[in-house]
Amino acid sequence: METIRTIDWMKQAARQARAESRIIGFVPTMGALHAGHTALVQRAKQDCSPVIASIFVNPKQFGPKEDFTKYPRTIEADSGKFSAAGVDLLFLPEATEIYPAGFGSYVTVEGLSDRLEGRSRPGHFRGVATVVLKLLEIVQPDFAYFGRKDAQQVRIISQMARDLNLDTEIVVCPIVREPDGLALSSRNAYLSAEERRAATVLHRALTAAKAELAAGTRDSLRLQTVIRKILEAEPLAAVDYAEIVDADTFEPVARIARPCYAVLAVFMGKTRLIDNLYLEPVGDSGELTYHL
């Protein structure tokens, strides 16, 4: 695996791959890698060669009171993990490379960016969309791989790619979980042992919603009540939001009749965790497929 630190060099390497008519896959991350990240690489390797990954802790997507300075940075271990997973090129720019003095252009995906995560974290998706557009412009991949763990994020990036006529296909990959159901996240490292045990409550709440749906419930309020009851029974958990939303608009829905998400954001102590259950009606029977 070759590590590249400058935009010029990264563009040059990607240009060369394109000149050889190779299919470029791209996996952007903020590092502190876990099996959720390497699963994206494995998926990319099925379709693409070379696979390019990036590690960049993007200051523009953190709020002033968020964890930018203490976000875990484990670059040596990350480099070993990406190399073992088969990444061909690692793009590892400094913040000054991506945002030189005088930087002043931002991308906002309107509407979608204001709800749920956007409401709780003002400016977050503007920072995400801006850095992802920059990375996609630098690498110009054929395919870029994102996790469904950040469902609203990948929806916003897909919208941006469509609105701005990008030549990259955005691929959504399944959530990777711990054996006890907790979705893998770099922020899980912040949890105390007690909080880590309690953090399974997100998955337990979504599993209960799934059981309720399997029993025939399609009413969102009923599902929300089931989810909230479980979350609120956990003394270490404080619910930020727990909603049933349309998978396209991320607006609340009254009934599950189209693809939807049950989306959760929950504080475990100071650590904010997110998770979701994706629901897809199949045919006209009202039957659902679940992605948990």
User: Six-digit token pair at 280?
Assistant: 């897809």
Q: Does 184 engage in binding with ligand AMP (CB under 6 A)?
A: yes
Residue type, 157: I
Please state, in angstroms and rounded to a whole number, the distance separating the CA atoms of residues 214 and 228. Answer: 18
Instruction: Write down the least CB distance from residue 101 to ligand AMP, Å.
Output: 25
Can residue 149 be called a binding residue for ligand AMP (CB under 6 A)?
Answer: yes
- Among 37, 124, 203, 291, the one annotated catalytic: 37
Amino acid at 176: V
34 in catalytic set: no
Tell me whether residue 181 or residue 281 sits nearer to ligand AMP (CB atom): 181
- In angstroms, the CA 195 to CA 12 distance is 46
Closest residue to ligand AMP: CB criterion: 147
Binding map of ligand AMP across residues 222-261, x = CB under 6 A, - = no contact:
----------------------------------------
Q: Does 30 bind ligand AMP (CB under 6 A)?
A: yes
Token reading at 25: 């896959």
Q: Which of 134, 138, 147, 266 binds ligand AMP (CB under 6 A)?
A: 147
Q: Which residues are paired to 144 by β-bridges?
A: 26, 170
**CA distances (Å), origin 10, targets 5, 20, 105, 147, 241:** 7, 16, 21, 23, 39
DSSP 8-state assignment for residue 51: E
Q: Is 78 in the site for ligand AMP (CB under 6 A)?
A: no
Report angle CA 165, 126, 87 to the nearest 5 degrees. Answer: 70
How far is the C-alpha of 239 from the C-alpha of 259, rounded, in Å?
24
In whole angstroms, the minimum distance from the beta carbon of 186 to ligand AMP comes to 5
CB of 102 to ligand AMP, least distance (A): 26
Select the residue interacting with ligand AMP from 25, 36, 93, 141 (CB under 6 A): 36
Of 14, 24, 40, 191, the residue at the interface with ligand AMP (CB under 6 A) is: 40
CA 149 – CA 183 distance, rounded (Å): 7
**Binding string, residues 96-135; x marks residues near ligand AMP by CB under 6 A:** ----------------------------------------
**Closest Cα to residue 88, out of 168, 174, 14?**
14
- In terms of CB distance, is 40 or 279 closer to ligand AMP? 40
- Asked whether the beta carbons of 149 and 39 are under 8 A apart, the reply is no
Q: Binding to ligand AMP (CB under 6 A): which residues in 152-181? A: 173, 175-176
User: Quick one: 86 exposed, middle or buried, by C-beta within 10 A (0-12, 13-18, 19+)?
Assistant: middle
- Provide the annotated active-site residues: 37
Binding site for ligand AMP (CB under 6 A): 29-30, 36-37, 39-40, 146-147, 149-150, 173, 175-176, 183-186
